[in-house]
Amino acid sequence: MKTQLKMKVGGLVLCGGHSKRMGRPKFSLPFGDEVLVQRVCRILSEVVSPIVVVAAADQELPELPGDVSIVRDEYDSLGPLAGIATGLDALRDRVDAAFVTSCDAPLLQSAFVRRLIELLGDHDVAAPTDGQYDHVLLAVYRTVLADHARRLLAGDRKRPLFLLEESKSLRIHVDELRDVDANLHSLRNVNTPEDYDDVLKLAGLN
């Protein structure tokens, strides 16, 4: 069996959402001298490689580093589980697992990513939880789960939580992650203009 040190881990960034509550595409929101998707890819690249960005068929993405691949979501408007399935499938011949995140987590910290990867062990998924809410879009998934994700979609079970519930999963209480991210800023995402203002202030950009 592979040891943890030898496990190859990539990154998967989901950016095909409709951004309805934000009112404009989240992936292209400015954040300092970057936009959100560029920032998230840069942070992930400090820990994992390769990185795949899953985008909708008609999305025009900003320039990304040459080692970041863009794949188009083969499903139309089926939500994040579809993006996870597409991304895990694109990575499965190259890595054992992938850290999955949405493009709207600009305060993600590399130490947080590293800790979740270290905790995966022999599980299929490692995800933070606060006891009531599982952070399924800030978690580590083994790439072999791509087929299971597709079966769930075929059965009209579109929530990523179903994949977590039907896999060998490790739920890590968020308080156990405070030593690498004291204020749990990695868990902050940007769904509304108010959220965007908040993370800009936390980063000292507003």
Quick: pLDDT tens for 114-124: 999 999 999 99
Cβ atoms of 22 and 192 within 8 Å: the answer is yes
Cβ atoms of 186 and 107 within 8 Å: the answer is yes
Count of C-beta atoms within a 10 Å radius of residue 158: 16
Average pLDDT in the 171-183 region?
A: 98
Give 58's pLDDT tier (boundaries 50, 70, 90).
confident
Count of C-beta atoms within a 10 Å radius of residue 57: 10
Bridging pattern class, strands 169-173 and 125-129: parallel
Q: Which CATH number fits domain 7-202: 3.90.550.10, 3.30.43.10, 3.40.50.300, 3.40.50.1970?
A: 3.90.550.10
Q: Which residue has the tokens 């800009």?
A: 200
Res 109 pLDDT > 60: yes
Instruction: Check the CA dihedral 119-120-123-128 and report its sign.
Output: positive
What letter would DSSP give residue 169?
E
pLDDT for position 143: 98
pLDDT for position 128: 98
Q: pLDDT tens for residues 67-82?
A: 899 999 888 778 999 9
Per the document, the length of the chain is 206
Structure tokens at 51: 């990185």
Average pLDDT in the 160-167 region?
A: 96
Q: Which residues contact 183 (CB under 8 A, 6 or more apart)?
A: none
Q: How far is CA 202 from CA 31, 41, 97, 180, in A?
A: 12, 20, 31, 17
The pLDDT > 90 percentage for the chain reads 84
Give 18's pLDDT tier (boundaries 50, 70, 90).
low
Give 5's pLDDT tier (boundaries 50, 70, 90).
very low
Domain limits, the chain:
7-202
Res 1 pLDDT > 60: no
Average pLDDT value for the chain: 93
pLDDT for position 23: 76
